Amino acid sequence: MKTLYLECAMGASGNMLLGALLDLLPDSEAWLERLNGLGIPGVCYRLERKSGAIAGNLVTVTVHGHDEDYDHPHHHGSGLQAILHQIGHLSVSAEVKAQAGAVYQSIAEAEAKVHQTTPSEVHFHEVGSLDAVADIVGVCLLLEALRADQVLASPVHVGSGTVRCAHGVLPVPAPATAELLRGIPSYTGDIPSELCTPTGAALLRQLSSGFGPMPRMRVERIGYGFGTKELERPNCLRAFLGETENRTDEVYEVRCNLDDMTGEELAFARERLEESGVLDVTVVAAMMKKNRPGFLLTCLCRERQLEETIRLLLAHTTTAGVRYTPWKRTILEPSFRTVETAYGPVREKHYGGTHKKKLEYEDLAKAAREGGTSLWEVRETCSKPIE
């Protein structure tokens, strides 16, 4: 499986991630030109090659000629919906727009929780919002170009001390950053500086599927992305791109028994859980107390999703309590290749270390809808080589 591993020993920020991902791509200057052609008003990406004990990229973003660090949202300027509207009109794929929008949504939700308001009421300083849009959209675009099957990251070094932002002098990590890192392994250290910014934390939260030590992998490329601060250690984020084998991770199984919900109510609850990004939701029929028919609702989620999954179960089902247990699991890592079929290109999923493979359901379903035929016929046709 093609894996991108992010080493956050000096934290993470938007420009550090941009620099590291650009360093992984074969033609950084061409991708820099692509970034500058995104159409973000007044934004200019600049690339500087740093050398020394470690060589890597320093990417800076200027907005109308200003390069001040406005990574912390202000409560005046552009609102969330205006920013999402702006992202929706950029010249990038629908997937990049969705990823970038989800990152910005998470920042707004964290700010809203910290300041006891709603995401729609959080506003961002004009320069800061454009700078963050540039970082977020740029990272999502470069990640799409790398075509990694999964993104993993190390525990995040947040730094120590205090940071000055629009709300005054705040402890490190800043409250919004701490909220975004909830459920993600992080630690302080002896460097008196803010190492992980809200933008960096939001990108890691949205893009990384797991956090921990670097997995066993055959590294093909290494990228270095520098931050703007001069610190006692090289202020960079390191990105490894390579192939991993099957991996073991930990998930939580969250369960509850239900015997007083209608089918419509249960379906609605399941939709809310799936929309939250849990790994899986299953519903099994069961006989409950007093011989009443009921259901066992089970969710699989990652540790960082546990609190939200419990909240959704309590909010959208009739249960008065839930049970949860951590489980270790071993995963066959999938990889994809595109095969040409009578219905056009279809993705085929392969599982590392085995002969297992299958055609991707979403591609087959799309072909069946467009062709006005059955899923079974499409699968049979696509399984045969084109003559």
Where along the chain do its domains lie?
Answer: 2-244, 248-331, 334-382
Nearest to residue 336, comparing CAs of 374, 362, 375, 316? 362
**Residue 156 contacts residue 184 (beta carbons within 8 Å):** yes
User: How many residues are recorded in the chain?
Assistant: 387
CATH superfamily of 248-331: Transcriptional regulatory protein pf0864 domain like (3.30.70.1380)
Q: Which two tokens stand for residue 274?
A: 């799936």
pLDDT tens per residue, the chain (387 residues)? 789 999 999 999 999 999 999 999 999 999 999 999 998 888 999 999 988 789 999 999 988 877 645 444 444 457 888 888 889 989 899 889 989 998 988 998 898 888 888 887 876 654 457 888 999 999 999 999 999 988 999 999 999 998 887 667 889 899 999 999 988 999 998 899 999 999 999 999 989 988 888 988 899 999 999 999 999 899 999 999 998 876 677 899 999 999 999 999 999 999 999 988 899 999 999 998 888 899 999 999 998 899 999 999 999 999 999 999 999 888 776 666 777 788 888 888 777 656 778 888 888 998 899 889 999 998 888 887 655
Looking at residue 209, its pLDDT comes to 82
Q: Which two tokens stand for residue 4?
A: 């991108």
Helix axis angle for 14-24 and 28-36, nearest 10°, is: 130
**Cα 149 to chain center, whole Å?**
12
pTM, entire model: 0.66
How many other C-beta atoms are found inside a 10 Å radius of the C-beta of residue 369? Answer: 11
**Residue 235 contacts residue 224 (beta carbons within 8 Å):** no
Looking at residue 126, its pLDDT comes to 43
Looking at residue 322, its pLDDT comes to 96
- Spell out the residues 6+ positions from residue 85 whose beta carbon is closer than 8 angstroms to its own: none
